[in-house]
Structure 1
Amino acid sequence: MDTIGLVLVMLLAVVVSGWIVRLLPIAIPLPLVQIALGAVMASIFQYDIQLEPHIFFLLFLPPLLFLDGWRIPKRDLLQDKTMIIQLALGLVIFTVIGLGYLIHWMIPAMPLAVAFALAAIVSPTDPVAVSSIAARIPIPKRLMHILEGESLLNDASGLVCFRFAVAAAVTGTFSLPHATLTFLWVAAGGLLCGAGFTLAISYAQTWLGRRIGEEPGAQILVSVLIPFGAYLLAEEVGASGILAAVAAGVAMSYVELSGRALAATRIQRKSLWDMIQFSLNGIMFVLLGEQLPGIFEGAVRVVQETGHENPWWLLVYALVINIALGLLRFGWVRLCLLINGWIARRRGQAETQVGMRLTAAVSLAGVRGAVTLAGVLTLPLLLPNGEAFPARDLAIFLAATVTIISLITANLGLPRLLKGLHIPDISSQATEEAQARRLAADAAIHAIEQSQHTLEARYENPQLCAEAAARAMDAYRRKIEAGTIAAEEASDLRLGASIEQELRLTGLQAERAAVFRLAREHRITDETSRKLVHEIDLMEARLR
C-alpha cells in the first residue's frame, strides 16, 4: 500500500474509532480504541511504516503545541500560576531525576541517558486525554484549568529535557553548566521567535487586509502555517522550536482578542483547528497501535539482555514506572499544597483546605497522551557511529504502555475520586457572565443610537430609521431587563426560554428537511441548497 493510501486508511480509522466509542456499552477512552484499531490494521494489511523521527516531530508537535497555547484560559492560568509552575517545571525536573535513576536501576541494559530521556518524555500530561474523560465525568473547572495550564508548560519543559537527554545519549557527554546556559538560550530564543513571528505575521495580515481586503481562506491557511514557521525559525537559530510553537499560540490568543478577524473567518478557522487536533491526536494513537508489534519484539530482546526471558517482565516494568510516576506526582502535589498553605498563613491570606482525596485526584488526572507518543517516536534510529540507538524499542514500548495504563487508571479512578468533590472557585462565573452580557448590550444600544443618526442623513427618512433602530435596541433592552428580574421569576423565564428554544429548533429542522427535499427533487440548485442549509446551521448553532 502506498503512502497516500496508508494516510487515508489511518484517517478512516480515526473516524471509525469515534463511532465505536459511542456504540460501546461501557466508557472506554478514545485513544485506547484508536491504538487497538492501529494494531488490527497492521495485522490485516501487513505493512511496515518507517517513521523519520525529525519529520514526525515537525508534522505533529508544532500544531498541537500551538493550539494548546492558543486556547489556554490565560486568566485562570494566572490565578493559579504558583501551583501550575510548581507542577509544570518543578515536578518535571523531580520526575526526570527520580524516575530516570529508578529506570536505570531496574533495567541496567538501558543507559542512564536513555532512562532520563524516557523519564522526561513520560512527564508531560495531556489535557486532551483528560478532556475526553471529562466529557463523561464532571471535573471541577478550577481543577481542569490547573491541569490545562500544567500541560501547556510541562509539554515544553518535558520535551526540552527530553532533547537534552537524547543529546547526551547520542554524544555520550553531559555538562551541567553548559546545559544550563544552553537551556537559557534555547528557552529565551524559542519564546522570542514564537511570539515575534506570530506578531509580525499578524501585523502583515492586518496591513494587507486594510488595503486589499480579507480573504477568510487565506487567513485560515496562514494560521495553520504559523506554528510550522515559528518552529523552523527557532530551530534555524539554535533555539527551541517546541517553546516557539507554544509562544506562537499564546501570542495568537492575544492577537485574537483584537477582534480584527471577520466572523466568517473565526467560525471556519475554529472548525478547521478542531479537525486538525482530532486528526493529529487520532493518527498518533493509530500509528502507535500499528508500531506496537514490532516495538514489542525489540523490547523483548532488550529485556532478555537483563537476564529475564519472560516477556511479562515488560508489563512489570510498565506497572512499576506508572506506580512511581503516581507516587512522585502525589508526593510533589502534597508538598506544594502544604508549602502554599504555609505561605498563605504567613501572609495572612485565607488558606484553602485541600484533603487527600483532592491530592489523589490531581495525581491521577496526570494522564499521558499525544505529546508523550509523538516525542518518544522521535528517538534517533542510529548513533553517530552507525550503531543502533540503545534500547530504543524498549523505551518506546514502555512510554506507550505507561500512556495506556494512565488512561485506564484515570478512566476507572477519577469518577470515584471526583464524586461530590468541591473545589472553591476564585470568582463566580455566573455573575461575571451576566455582567458581561449587560455591558455588551449597553454597548450595542449605544452603537445603534449613533448609527441611527448616520443612516437618517444617508437615506433622508428619519421615521423609518427610528423604527428600525427601536426594533434593534428592543432586543438588547430585553437582555438587560432579564438580568434584573427577581430570583423567583428566574425559573419560569428559564422554562419559557427552553420551550421557545425547542420550538425554534423544531422549526429549523423542518426548514432544513424541506430544503433538502427541494434539492432532491431538483426544484432548486445545489448552490442554493448549500447556501440555505448553511444559514440554517448557523442559526441552529446559535440557538444551541
Structure 2
Amino acid sequence: MHTVETVLLVLMLGAVTGIAARYMRAIPLPLIQIALGAVIAWPQKGLHISFNPELFLLLFIPPLLFADGWRIPKREFFALARPILLLAFGLVCFTVLGLGYFIHWMIPSIPLTVAFALAAVVSPTDAVAVSAITRNLGMPHKTMHMLEGESLLNDASGLVAVKFAVAATLTGAFSWGAVAKDFTWMAVGGLGIGALMGWGFSTARDAITRRVGDLAATQMVLLLVLLPFAAYLAGEKIGVSGILAAVAAGIATNFADLDRGNFISERLQTEGTWSMVESAFNGAIFLLLGLQLPSIIGVTLLDAGDDWWQLVAYVVVISFALLLMRWVWITLGVHGALRRAHQEGKMLEKPSHLLNLATTMAGIRGAVTLAAALSIPVHMRSGLPFPSRDLLIFLATGVILFTLILGSIALPLLLRRMPAHEDTETQHEERSARAAACKAAIASLTMTEEEAQKHDEAWIAQYQEVVGRITQEYRNRIHLLDDSGVATSTEAQRDTPEMVHERRLRYLREMELRLHCIHVERDTLYAERQAHRINDETLRAMVSELDMSEVALRKRLVVARRAAGLPPLPHAGGAH
C-alpha cells in the first residue's frame, strides 16, 4: 500500500475507534486500537507497514510529549518534583540493573549487555494508556499528575539507557564514568536547548502578535505545532536528548502563555489544534503497535514450534518481575517522598499500600517501548547478527501487551476499592478565582470625581444605571460562586443535614434552569439563521459564546450533583 494511503487509513481508523470506544466503555481505547491493528495485519494479504523506529520517534513522540509538557499543571509538577524524579530516573536505573541481571540469569543465551538493553527498553511507562484506562474511575488527581510527570521524563532516561546498553554490546566496552558524563550532558543539554527554543519562539511571537494582534493567530498556531519537531531535531543534531528538548520546549511555552490572556482567537485555535493532534497521533501509535503484532509475536511463536509456551512464560515472568521492582521502589523509595508531600499539603491523597499498588499497576508500557525495541541494530560492527535481537523484540512486545491487559483489569478493581478523592482544593481555587474576577470587574466600574466632572448629569445618570445592572449581575454570580452552593464547615456546624441538602437542591434547580435557558437561546439562534435573519458568521460567534458558558455551567453542575448524591448529567449532545 502506498505510504499516503496508509497514513490516511491509520488516521481514519484512529478516529473511528475513538467513536467506537464511546459505546464500549468497558474496553480501554488503546486495547481496541491494538486489536483492530492486529486484525487488519494478521491475514496473509493484510496491511503490512514497515516500521521505521527513527521516523516513528520523530513524527509521533515529540508533539505528544510537547503537548503533555504544555498541558501538565506546572504547580503540581514542581511540587511533586522529588517523587517524579525518583520514578523517572531512579526507577529506570533500578530497573535496568536489577531486571537486566535477572533476565541474564533466567535466559543465559541473552548476553548481559543485551539483557540490560531489554530492561532499558521496557523501563519507560505510557501515561496515555493509563489515562485511557482510568477515565471516569477516580484516579486521584495528584497521583495522575505524578504518573504524567514520570512518563514525560522516563521516556528520555529509558532511551538513553538503551543507547548505552547497545553501544556496550557493539563495542564490548563499558565505563560507568563515561555513562554518567554522557547521560548528564544529554539530559541537561536536552532540557537547555528545549527551554531556549521555547523561550525564543515565545519572545518572537510576542513581538509579532503585539503589533498585529490575532490577525496572525493561524500562522502562530502552525509554528507552535512545528516547534516540538524543531526542538527534537535540534537536540538530536547536537547530540543531546531530543525528547527532553521537546518536553522542555512545551513547558517553556506554557509559562510564556501566562502573559497572553488577550489573544483569545489564538488560544481557542491552539486548544482545538492540539486536541486534534493528540487524538490523531495517540490513535495512530496504538494502531501501528497492533499492526506490528502479527509479524513480531505470531511469527516468533510459530518458529518456536512446541516451545512456544516457554516464550510466553518468559513474558509473564519478566512482566511480573518488572512490576514487582516497581512496587518495591515505590514502597521503599517513593513512599516517604509522597508522605512528606501529603503532610506539606502538596498531595491531597494520603499514601497507602492500596495507592502504592495502583501506582504500580499504572506502570503500563506502550509505543515508546516498541520503538526502542525495533531501534536495536540488526547487525554488529563485524557484520554478525545482533545477539538475541528477535527474542528481545518479542519479549518487549509481550511485556507491552501483558502490562496493558493486566492494568485494564487490575486498575479499575483497585480504584473502586479506594476511598473517593474529590479534588475540593482545585474546586475551591476555581470558585475563588471566579469570585475575585467578578469583584475586580465591579471595582473597575467605579467612577472617580475627576472622570465625573468631564460629563454632564444625563450621561452620569445613564452610566450609573448601566453600572447598577452590571454590578447586580456580578453580585449574583458571586453569590452563586459561594462554595458552589455547598455549605462550608462553619455552616455545616450550624445547619442540620436536611437544611444543607435543601440548599444543595435549590442551587441545583437554579443551575439546571440556567442550562435550560442556554439550550433555548441556542435553538432560537439556529431558528433565526434558518429564517435568514442572521448570517453564518454571526451564528458561529454567538453559539461559541453559549457553548463556552454551557461547558463552565456543566462543570459546576457535575460537582454540585456529586455533592448532593445525584447521578451525573447526561453528556451534552445533539448537533443542530
For 1:279 and 1:450, locate their aligned partners in 2 and report how far apart those are by CA, in whole Å.
51
Judging changes above 3 Å, is the alpha-carbon distance between structure 1 residues 34 and 476 closer, same or farther for their aligned structure 2 residues?
Answer: same
For 2:270 and 2:416, locate their aligned partners in 1 and report how far apart those are by CA, in whole Å.
36
2:509 pairs, out of 474, 478, 496, with 496
- Counterpart in 2 of 1:466? 464
Judging changes above 3 Å, is the alpha-carbon distance between structure 1 residues 540 and 353 closer, same or farther for their aligned structure 2 residues?
Answer: closer
- State how 1:146-165 maps to structure 2 within 5 Å: 146-165=146-165
1:313 pairs, out of 310, 313, 316, with 310
For 1:212 and 1:428, locate their aligned partners in 2 and report how far apart those are by CA, in whole Å.
39
Q: 1:515·1:532 contact (CA, 8 Å) conserved in 2? A: no
- State how 1:383-394 maps to structure 2 within 5 Å: 383-394=380-391
Which deviations, in whole Å up to 9, do the C-alpha atoms of 1:174-216 show, x marking residues without a partner? 2211111111111111111000110011001101112233321
For 1:345 and 1:7, locate their aligned partners in 2 and report how far apart those are by CA, in whole Å.
46
- Counterpart in 1 of 2:475? 477
For 2:322 and 2:421, locate their aligned partners in 1 and report how far apart those are by CA, in whole Å.
27
- Counterpart in 2 of 1:35? 34
- Counterpart in 2 of 1:220? 221
The residue identity in structure 2 corresponding to 1:477 is: R
Q: How much has 1:406 moved relative to structure 2?
A: 1.5
Judging changes above 3 Å, is the alpha-carbon distance between structure 1 residues 209 and 315 closer, same or farther for their aligned structure 2 residues?
Answer: same
- Counterpart in 1 of 2:260? 259
- Counterpart in 1 of 2:5? 5
Question: Comparing 507-516 with 129-138, which one deviates more in the overlay?
Answer: 507-516
RMSD of aligned residue pairs (Cα, Å): 3.5
Q: 2:34·2:289 contact (CA, 8 Å) conserved in 1? A: yes
Q: How much has 1:393 moved relative to structure 2?
A: 3.5
1:510 pairs, out of 519, 523, 540, with 523
Q: 2:438·2:477 contact (CA, 8 Å) conserved in 1? A: yes
Judging changes above 3 Å, is the alpha-carbon distance between structure 1 residues 494 and 427 closer, same or farther for their aligned structure 2 residues?
Answer: closer
Which deviations, in whole Å up to 9, do the C-alpha atoms of 1:228-248 show, x marking residues without a partner? 111111222221111111111
Judging changes above 3 Å, is the alpha-carbon distance between structure 1 residues 162 and 491 closer, same or farther for their aligned structure 2 residues?
Answer: same
Judging changes above 3 Å, is the alpha-carbon distance between structure 1 residues 199 and 340 closer, same or farther for their aligned structure 2 residues?
Answer: closer
The residue identity in structure 1 corresponding to 2:323 is: G
Q: 1:156·1:243 contact (CA, 8 Å) conserved in 2? A: yes
For 1:156 and 1:453, locate their aligned partners in 2 and report how far apart those are by CA, in whole Å.
61
Which deviations, in whole Å up to 9, do the C-alpha atoms of 1:102-159 show, x marking residues without a partner? 2233334433333222212322222221111221411122322222222222223222
Q: How much has 1:253 moved relative to structure 2?
A: 1.9
Judging changes above 3 Å, is the alpha-carbon distance between structure 1 residues 442 and 159 closer, same or farther for their aligned structure 2 residues?
Answer: farther
Which deviations, in whole Å up to 9, do the C-alpha atoms of 1:356-380 show, x marking residues without a partner? 3222122112222233234334333
- State how 1:262-273 maps to structure 2 within 5 Å: 262-273=263-274
1:445 pairs, out of 438, 442, 445, with 442
Judging changes above 3 Å, is the alpha-carbon distance between structure 1 residues 542 and 517 closer, same or farther for their aligned structure 2 residues?
Answer: farther
For 2:20 and 2:9, locate their aligned partners in 1 and report how far apart those are by CA, in whole Å.
16
- State how 1:143-182 maps to structure 2 within 5 Å: 143-182=143-182
- Counterpart in 2 of 1:277? 278
Q: How much has 1:504 moved relative to structure 2?
A: 2.5
- Counterpart in 2 of 1:206? 206
- State how 1:48-67 maps to structure 2 within 5 Å: 48-67=48-67
Question: Comparing 206-215 with 370-379, which one deviates more in the overlay?
Answer: 370-379
Judging changes above 3 Å, is the alpha-carbon distance between structure 1 residues 321 and 454 closer, same or farther for their aligned structure 2 residues?
Answer: farther
2:406 pairs, out of 405, 409, 415, with 409
Judging changes above 3 Å, is the alpha-carbon distance between structure 1 residues 212 and 351 closer, same or farther for their aligned structure 2 residues?
Answer: closer
- State how 1:124-139 maps to structure 2 within 5 Å: 124-139=124-139
For 1:450 and 1:397, locate their aligned partners in 2 and report how far apart those are by CA, in whole Å.
74
Q: 2:339·2:351 contact (CA, 8 Å) conserved in 1? A: no
Question: Comparing 122-131 with 488-497, which one deviates more in the overlay?
Answer: 488-497
Q: 2:11·2:284 contact (CA, 8 Å) conserved in 1? A: yes
SS at match of 1:312: helix
For 2:46 and 2:146, locate their aligned partners in 1 and report how far apart those are by CA, in whole Å.
43
- Counterpart in 2 of 1:296? 297
Q: 1:455·1:465 contact (CA, 8 Å) conserved in 2? A: no
For 1:209 and 1:243, locate their aligned partners in 2 and report how far apart those are by CA, in whole Å.
28
The residue identity in structure 1 corresponding to 2:394 is: F
- Counterpart in 1 of 2:567? none
Judging changes above 3 Å, is the alpha-carbon distance between structure 1 residues 515 and 327 closer, same or farther for their aligned structure 2 residues?
Answer: farther
Judging changes above 3 Å, is the alpha-carbon distance between structure 1 residues 430 and 271 closer, same or farther for their aligned structure 2 residues?
Answer: same
Question: Comparing 35-44 with 506-515, which one deviates more in the overlay?
Answer: 506-515
- Counterpart in 1 of 2:142? 142
Which deviations, in whole Å up to 9, do the C-alpha atoms of 1:436-464 show, x marking residues without a partner? 22222222223344799989969994444
For 1:478 and 1:443, locate their aligned partners in 2 and report how far apart those are by CA, in whole Å.
14
Judging changes above 3 Å, is the alpha-carbon distance between structure 1 residues 456 and 386 closer, same or farther for their aligned structure 2 residues?
Answer: farther
Question: Comparing 313-322 with 392-401, which one deviates more in the overlay?
Answer: 392-401
Question: Comparing 364-373 with 5-14, which one deviates more in the overlay?
Answer: 364-373
- Counterpart in 2 of 1:101? 101
Judging changes above 3 Å, is the alpha-carbon distance between structure 1 residues 314 and 17 closer, same or farther for their aligned structure 2 residues?
Answer: farther
- Identical-residue share of aligned pairs (%): 42
**Structure 1 stretches lacking a partner, 5+ long:** none
SS at match of 2:307: coil
Q: 1:95·1:328 contact (CA, 8 Å) conserved in 2? A: yes
Judging changes above 3 Å, is the alpha-carbon distance between structure 1 residues 396 and 278 closer, same or farther for their aligned structure 2 residues?
Answer: farther
Question: Comparing 317-326 with 157-166, which one deviates more in the overlay?
Answer: 157-166
2:373 pairs, out of 376, 379, 393, with 376
Q: How much has 1:59 moved relative to structure 2?
A: 0.8
